[in-house]
Amino acid sequence: MQENWQQLINAFDQEQSYVLATIVATRGSTYRKTGTFMLIAADGRCTGLLSGGCLEADISLHAMEVLKTNKSKLLKYDLKADAELLWGLGLGCDGALDILLQPLTYENEFLAFPLMIDSLKQRQAGFYCQLINDEEIAVSLFVAGNHYEKDEVRGKLLNYTSTLSNKYELLVTPVNPPISLLICGAGPDVLPVVSMANQLGWQISLWDHRATYLEQVEFALCSSRKKIRAEHIKSGDMNDFDGVVVMSHNLTSDGLFLKHALADKIDYIGLLGPAGRRDKLLNSLSLTASDVKDQVFGPVGLDIGGRSPQAIALSICAEIQQQTSRRFEIAKHKSFTINNS
């Protein structure tokens, strides 16, 4: 599934023209799978990867042609073939993939890409649907919706597909907002967590009662920073977050952060500190670790070894990535095709 939504949000500008490169089919072993996007600017800059970096330069060259003709183009790469050595790639991979290039311009209303971006900004899910064709006018649309049911999506597309020719193939890609992470506390050990979460493309919110801590330059990477005391949090304040990491280093404050995260039914709650400290926080709420198993994680992070702030940040982000992936059924995140051929 696509994981760099935040990068696409940051890169897209309706004052510019782009080419959207999408993997529409794969065979064998490939670095990325069907439904993965890469945005290519008019100057050749790429946001995202469709391979391990091997194909991007060649794809960008084709993208410049697409911008000139304003027509979509279908590229086919067979990375298993020995002939690849003859035309300069020499990848030595064991797979093949088809990549659709579509122009995103003012003239074609950017193929509904802005609708998808706006939906992501509002943390709404949906489906980006693309007509797979070669040397034809590019067609795409965005269908908003939070439920992933293939029959439901087909129903929503029925009116749209009735305007197409008798033979068509649509790629339907689920669109889900970036992971939204709240970090409670803005101490020095939070800096590497913010940096790593930002590299993963997550939306990061930071809460602390100390303005000088929040205003550190390194925290400019956060989507939002809020000066607030734990005792002033209200019911529902945490509803928009996928995960909360509690690391204020103050037992009373951490207890209040935990209380509200549980009340707002946050799926992932990480508690910094040893198991004894976790139990003390839970006991104050008349709970035990078994009562909140698979929701509260303390000590926070995977046990990967290392005690440095950077190693701890890595373990925290790794655990959030693991737990977030497990909570979604993999099948519900796969792109699929609708065709009438």
Q: Given a cut of 50, is residue 192 above it in pLDDT?
A: yes
Helix axes 275-283, 251-263, angle to 10 degrees: 70
> Which DSSP symbol is given to 177?
P
Q: Where are the alpha helices (DSSP H) in the chain?
A: 5-11, 56-69, 113-121, 150-161, 191-199, 211-214, 251-263, 275-283, 309-327
Q: Are 24 and 171 in contact (CB under 8 A)?
A: yes
Question: Could you state, in order of their start, the residue ranges of all structural domains in the chain?
Answer: 5-177, 180-327
Q: What's the pLDDT band for 79 if we cut at 50, 70, 90?
A: confident
Q: Which fold has domain 180-327?
A: Rossmann fold (3.40.50)
Residue 203's DSSP bridge partners are: 180
Instruction: Give the Cα separation of 189 and 313 in Å (integer).
Output: 8
Q: Which residue has better confidence, 289 or 330?
A: 289
Residue of 335, 328, 339, 341 whose CA lies nearest to 23:
335
> Which DSSP symbol is given to 182?
E
Which range is least confidently modeled, 2-11, 80-89, 90-99, 216-225?
A: 80-89
User: What pTM was estimated for this model as a whole?
Assistant: 0.80
Question: What is the percentage of the chain residues whose pLDDT exceeds 90?
Answer: 60
Q: What is the pLDDT of residue 230?
A: 97
Residue range 117-121: average pLDDT? 89
- Edge to edge, what strands does the sheet with 126-131 contain? 140-144, 126-131, 169-175, 336-339
Strands annotated E in 212-282: 224-227, 243-246, 268-271
Q: Given a cut of 60, is residue 341 above it in pLDDT?
A: no
Q: What's the pLDDT band for 138 if we cut at 50, 70, 90?
A: low
Q: What's the pLDDT band for 131 if we cut at 50, 70, 90?
A: confident
Q: What's the pLDDT band for 160 if we cut at 50, 70, 90?
A: low
pLDDT digits (tens, 9 = 90+) for 27-58: 888 888 899 999 999 999 999 999 877 899 99
Q: What's the pLDDT band for 93 if we cut at 50, 70, 90?
A: low
Six token digits for residue 176: 């889900």
Residue of 298, 274, 308 whose CA lies nearest to 189:
308
Question: Residue 49: helix, strand or coil by DSSP?
Answer: coil
Residue range 282-308: average pLDDT? 95
Q: Are 60 and 46 in contact (CB under 8 A)?
A: yes
pLDDT digits (tens, 9 = 90+) for 162-172: 555 556 678 88
